[in-house]
A and B are shown apart, each in its own frame.
Chain A
Amino acid sequence: MSGLKRGSIAVVGAAESDLGQVAQHTSPVDLMAQATMRALDDCGLTLKDVDGLFVAATQVRMGPMSLAEYLRIKPRVFDGTQIGGSSFMTHVAHAQMAIQLGLCEVAVIAYGSTQRSVSRAAASPREFNPYESPYRPILPISAYAMAAARHMHQYGTKREHLAEVAVAARKWALMNPKAWEKEPLTIEQALNARMVSYPFTVRDCCLVVDGGGAIVLTSAARAKSLKKKPVYVLGVGETLSHANISSLPDFTVSGASVSGPQAFQMAGVTPKDVKMLSLYDAFTITPILFLEDLGFCPKGEGGRFVADGGIAPGGKLAVNTSGGGLSYCHPGMYGLLVMIEAIRQVRGECGERQVKNCDVSLAHGNGGVLSSQCTVILGSENTL
């Protein structure tokens, strides 16, 4: 990522749309627009200030066009890069390029989905693949399940370790008023839940809910004059490794092992400096893989790292304090909400679940079937 400068831009606004179950006939673009205005209100900017628009969604084929039409804005810079749930982390990197080069000054990244209302099959239809579809894997679940099975075989990771991830997420979610799940979860309940794709039960899989979000980014110079304390983009990293799971060479190593070091190098920090992690938890295996690949524990040790409440409230490391895709919200492509929690932690807005002295947070996005991996490291003014 040479050329991108640590701290040259900042997140100044962040907001969710309505989450959970929206009213019949609500459109994904309704949710994007609602979140965009909430994020602009969050920083005191208006639609007239927006000159960069970054949108990706599964139900809207040409996102930037649809949202620009809805809001009747004419952005100078627009980008609809669609690489699944990590698209929005990539949009941060692309917005940084555009803002640093002076192509735009205020960038909005937005997302919306009504997948709970219209069904996952309708919201995210999958492409037919003659080399995979005949075997009827439940995608994306079975792809991640096979990664988990390989990790278990190679490193002795247990189903109980996977369940720990689900239970930790639930404990955090109980401290987040916006979380979808409201009831406690035990290891036994997670293990004994309905099997979906071995070794995953339904508790190893993310929620299927409606929702969206938006964030507003601008130059570090302009950020200082706005309502909220700026959250600086210290580092970004991104990589693509494959599209279909059959083409992933090693099922125990994700592209986070590439995007993480890129982001850390740009940010000039190490894992020790990171106070809170927001790791895309589409399935319980992903935080385990990402903790390893991002350098928070050695390869193969992720399962043991999360054991005994390692990433639960009061554990070794604060991970997915919102409750994550497993218990807070997962509207199809969850990466924008992954970042919003990491932004709020640096701002100190997380109430009961706030991590103390959270100067540096890390948001890691995952897309497809472990296919795209993008890391964003965020920091407060103290870190500049």
Chain B
Amino acid sequence: MSDLTKQSPLGVYVEHLKKGELAYQVCKDDNKAFFYPRAIAPETGSENIEWRVSKGLGTVYTTTVVYYKGEQPLNVAMIDMDEGYRLMSRVEDIDPMQVKIGMRVKFRAHPGDDKTLPYPVFTALIPDPSPGGRRETSASPLPSRPGDTGGKAEGPGVRDGSSK
């Protein structure tokens, strides 16, 4: 049962991020994952909600590059997490125009600053052909979102994952 005088959904989420974890919720009535965090589960209206820590793997659903005057271009993307929910984020450490739909990505926590709470960002999971570089790729399971049409970029990761 939620008690909003003691703890808020965003508060719990931020505590996880401070530990380097991406947390999400599952409604125990219909076993559906949802995001953003809520006190009441969508559709069921249930308070029977479980917090879970994400494995941190997802696929770029769509992407844009925003141009602020006098700044470097900035990526903004929607990420479909393997656990079956979606969030807005950005893919870092890569040219924003090279962030592609269908690209596999991995979570890391951005610490935020004095004005901004910590928040999740992502880096590209680019399969590395060297033997030592295969570990991260093979750790990438199939996306669980049914009917996902993420695209070709998932191909290699999927094959590597199943041949383990």
Contact = CB atoms under 8 A, between A and B. Distances in A.
A149 B63 contact: yes
Interface stretch (B45-53, B111-119, B134-142): B111-119
B61 A135 contact: no
Contacts of A132: 88
Given A131-B36, A153-B151, A198-B97, A146 B90 contact: no
Given A197-B65, A246-B87, A146 B76 contact: yes
A136 interface: yes
Given A137-B66, A137-B88, A150-B62, A142 B76 contact: yes
Contacts of B87: 131, 246
Contact of A198 (B35, B64, B89): B64
A138 B90 CA distance: 13
B106 to A, nearest CB: 17
B98 to A, nearest CB: 12
Given A135-B76, A137-B76, A153-B151, A197 B36 contact: no
A246 B36 contact: yes
**Chain B, interface residues (CB within 8 Å), range:** 20 to 34
Contacts of B10: 130
A382 B160 CA distance: 65
B27 interface: no
A283 B125 CA distance: 32
A220 B101 CA distance: 51
A135 B117 contact: no
Contacts of A138: 66, 68
B9 to A, nearest CB: 10
Contacts of B97: 198
A306 interface: no
A147 B62 contact: yes
Given A149-B101, A150-B101, A246-B87, A136 B66 contact: yes
A136 B76 contact: yes
Contacts of B63: 146, 149
A96 B63 CA distance: 41
Contact of B78 (A134, A146, A199): A146
A132 B66 CA distance: 14
A146 B87 CA distance: 13
A interface, size bucket: 20 to 34
Contacts of A199: 64
B149 interface: yes
Contacts of A47: none
Given A153-B101, A251-B61, A135 B89 contact: yes
A246 B61 contact: no
A45 interface: no
Contact of B62 (A135, A146, A195): A146
- Please give me the 10 A-B residue pairs with the lowest Cβ-Cβ distance, nearest first: A150-B62, A198-B65, A145-B64, A146-B62, A134-B119, A153-B101, A131-B36, A137-B76, A246-B88, A197-B66
Interface of A: 130-132, 134-138, 142, 145-147, 149-150, 153-154, 194-199, 245-246, 251
20 contacts: A134-B112, A135-B88, A135-B89, A135-B90, A137-B66, A138-B66, A138-B68, A142-B66, A146-B62, A146-B63, A147-B62, A149-B64, A149-B101, A150-B61, A153-B62, A194-B67, A195-B67, A198-B64, A245-B78, A246-B86
Given A150-B61, A198-B64, 17 more contacts: A131-B35, A131-B36, A131-B87, A134-B110, A134-B116, A134-B119, A135-B119, A137-B64, A146-B62, A146-B76, A147-B62, A194-B67, A197-B67, A199-B64, A246-B78, A246-B87, A246-B88
Interface of B: 10, 35-36, 61-68, 74, 76-78, 86-90, 97, 101-102, 110, 112, 116-117, 119, 149, 151
